Amino acid sequence: MLFLRAQPRLQQPFKQYARRAYATAELSNGVKIAYDLHEPPKEAPQGNAPVVFLHGLFGSKKNNRSMSKVLARDLKRPVYAIDLRNHGDSSHHQRHDYTALAEDIEHFLGQEKMTDSTLIGHSMGAKTAMTVALRQRVPIASLISVDNAPIDAALKSDFAKYVRAMRRIEQAHVKRQADADAILAEYEDELPIRQFLLTNLYRAEDGTQKWRIPIKYLANALDNMADFPFKDPDEVRYAGPTLFVRGTKSHYVADEMLPTIGRFFPNFKLADVESGHWVISEEPEYFRKAVVEFLQEQE
């Protein structure tokens, strides 16, 4: 196990952004998965291994758009930013647990004929990516988990609080996002987190603000999101290159969890980023550097 610490570095202005294409894949299990494909620069070699980017609870592919562009450029790889089921523009389904989420990604990788992809997941997306790796139903080249660990651990109480706020907003039939934000502010002080949650709103035909995500399904799934489908690291493990990126101000990957991580993922490295749980948005340059260095080592 090697410990990495991302160091600050002045980043050149972003240029030569990748082209983006929006698409929807109808999986053989009936679920429709929306995704953005961020293509590498035209001069990049063709056929480079793709990156598949999975967001967290209440998020969407939009959250990872800027980072996907940068990684496509820096790694010269195509980056697929996915909307997981019950999020963004993907299908709604009453079943929402890590096995179901992993099955969706397995179907997606199979249909797109990806056999050497890198999975990057944050929070819920991290446990989804870990589940895919440990199930070994489809081959992946490497794994990057962002601020989550392969253990059963209670979610922060904030998530249940957000559900209550969302229900209040829905019941209030607000017509302006500012009014929705005023209600949400009673539950969450941090403006960036409120803005993140409010990206799930859209204006319905009657002029009211509606949630794009199925609040009922996700509220019922909060316990599932705290769970992890594998309990015994002596029974299953993923030996491929693995990077765990954790926020040092977050509790989701505490030091006492590292031995368990090492048993499930014996070839893992650790990158500490001075941030909270929202590592990618709080410290994008630290995150970018840790990911790029890790993946370039695999080339």
Please confirm, yes or no, whether 277 is among the known catalytic residues: yes
What is the CATH T-level fold of the domain 2-152+228-298, as seen in this structure? Rossmann fold (3.40.50)
Q: What per-residue confidence (pLDDT) applies to 299?
A: 79
Please confirm, yes or no, whether 96 is among the known catalytic residues: no
**Active-site residue identified among 68, 90, 91, 123:** 123
Query: Which residue intervals of the chain bear CATH 3.40.50.1820?
Result: 2-152+228-298
Q: Render pLDDT for 101-121 as a digit per residue (tens, 0 to 9).
A: 999 999 999 999 998 999 999
What is the maximal distance between C-alpha atoms in the chain? 56
Given a contact cutoff of 8 angstroms between Cβ atoms, the answer to whether 229 and 131 are in contact is: yes
For residues 161-180, give the mean pLDDT.
96
Q: What per-residue confidence (pLDDT) applies to 155?
A: 67
**Active-site residue identified among 38, 55, 96, 277:** 277
Q: Render pLDDT for 4-28 as a digit per residue (tens, 0 to 9).
A: 444 444 344 444 445 667 888 889 8
Q: What per-residue confidence (pLDDT) applies to 20?
A: 65
Q: At what angle do helices 65-75 and 284-298 cross, to 10 degrees?
A: 40
Average predicted confidence (pLDDT) for the chain = 91
- Phi, psi (rounded to 5 degrees) for 287: -60, -50
- Please, where are the H alpha helices in 15-139? 65-75, 98-111, 124-135
